[in-house]
Chain A
Amino acid sequence: MANRAQIATNNSALIAMIADEDTIVGLLMAGVGNVDLRRKTNYLIVDSKTTVKQIEDAFKEFTTREDIAIVLISQYVANMIRFLVDSYNKPVPAILEIPSKDHPYDPTQDSVLSRVKYLFSAESVASGRR
């Protein structure tokens, strides 16, 4: 099976984040932030000066790092690199689109929920809410 990657049962893994400053600050306050010896962070603050290339690189780095189990990404950031998010199909790390403060959450744009919708077009899973 090519698609099913081996799920590692490591004891501790990090949560990576790509989001706007406020969300990052809040999540860092909860204690998910990590800076390793080479001053590499497990988060990327996206502001008006951040380029799409930077986001892409961060996304690729977070999804290939072995110590990251979950990647949280703001939905408006995910929309910028939608092609990357949609083509990502590994189970670990899990990509999770989160709402950000300034941008309302749109469930129809979520890559997983759109897949859910695609699978069960009869049951309107994502459209019938909110």
Chain B
Amino acid sequence: MSGQGQRLNVVPTVTVLGVVKARLVGATRGHALLKKKSDALTVQFRQILKKIVSTKESMGDKMKASSFALIEAKYVAGENIKHTVLENVQTATLKVRSRQENVAGVKLPKFDYFHEGETKNDLTGLARGGQQVQACRAAYVKAIEVLVELASLQTSFMTLDAAIKTTNRRVNALENVVKPRLENTITYIKGELDELEREDFFRLKKIQGFKKREIERQLAAAKQFAEGQVAEKVSLQKGISLNSAQNMLSASEKDEDIIF
């Protein structure tokens, strides 16, 4: 795995260890939260999926019904009704309004349709077939209702799809990269600190041993000195300085006048 064996480039100290541990806690909490978010989004996603399928089906029926109504209107009002309709197009009376819906922090668009102003087609088919034309109109408005619903479902589907992908990517990144890296850093710092401690211990032991030896050496020197002192005292009491006795021998070698 890519995250394995990697660690942050930090100085192994106790402070940094605390910082990294805090970061690990944060990463774990973030991971749990993101996982929950991903689950919530997936639930919503599946619901929308089911709705899309059923709405698509009803859209087929509605479109069929409205096409049929149009054929009826054409039959009664004559073929040239379409020209009247095409001529009468000015401003849209049926519009959509989009608003946002919040699902686990993801904003989903929702479309609503509404009528604005009055229709210009009221007089269409006044001469003949007015009833059929109005029925056709109603059928198409119903179809549009379904289409608008389907459009908002589809948009939600796409938005959710993208959101789930990014959330899952984040979850995986935290799980497989960030968390192992932090854990590796923690183990590294701990190992390094342990080693420092051992080193320190060893050093202390070494110093202790050195000190012990030094004391022993000094003790031995002191003892020797004391013994020498005692010997001198004894020789002084006898009348001869131990040193001078020794010196007589040592000084005599330096005397240049004496020729042997």
Chain B residues within an 8 Å CB radius of A13 = 95-98
Pairwise interchain contact A34-B140, C-beta atoms closer than 8 A: no
B120 / chain A contacts, CB cutoff of 8 Å: 31
**Are B144 and A12 in contact, CB atoms less than 8 angstroms apart?**
no
B85 touches which one: A29, A112, A129 (CB < 8 A)? A29
In the complex, chain B residues whose CB is within 8 Å of the CB of A80? none
Interface residues on B, range: 35 or more
The number of A-B residue pairs with CB atoms under 8 Å apart is 166
- The reply to whether A8 and B98 form a contact with Cβ atoms under 8 Å apart is yes
Which residues of chain A are within 8 angstroms of B64 by Cβ–Cβ distance?
A: 99
Instruction: Kindly state whether residue A86 has any CB partner on chain B within 8 Å.
Output: no
Which positions 159-193 of chain B face chain A at CB distance < 8 Å?
Answer: 159, 161-163, 166
Evaluate contact between A30 and B144: CB separation under 8 angstroms. yes
Q: A1-B162, A25-B70, A96-B150 are in contact. Are A7 and B89 (CB under 8 A)?
A: no
Set of chain A residues within 8 Å of B49, measured between Cβ atoms: 116, 120, 125
Q: B137 interface residue, CB < 8 Å from A? A: yes
Complex partner residue of B155 from A33, A94, A107, CB under 8 angstroms: A94
Known: A4-B163, A69-B98. A29 touches B124 (CB 8 A): yes
Chain A residue nearest to B53 (CB atoms) is A125
Q: A91–B166 contact, CB under 8 A?
A: no
Mask: chain A, 4-28; 1 = CB below 8 Å from B; 0 = not: 1001111111110000011101111
Q: Chain B residues near A29 (CB, 8 Å)?
A: 70, 85, 121, 124, 133, 136-137, 140
Q: Which residues of A contact B38 (CB under 8 A)?
A: none
- With contact pairs A8-B98, A13-B98 given, residues A25 and B82 touching in the complex (Cβ less than 8 Å): yes
Closest 3 A/B residue pairs (Cβ): A31-B93, A33-B89, A30-B140
16 new A-B contacts at CB < 8 Å, known A25-B82, A33-B90: A7-B107, A12-B97, A25-B86, A28-B86, A30-B140, A30-B141, A32-B144, A41-B89, A69-B151, A91-B155, A92-B155, A95-B154, A99-B60, A112-B158, A116-B157, A125-B53
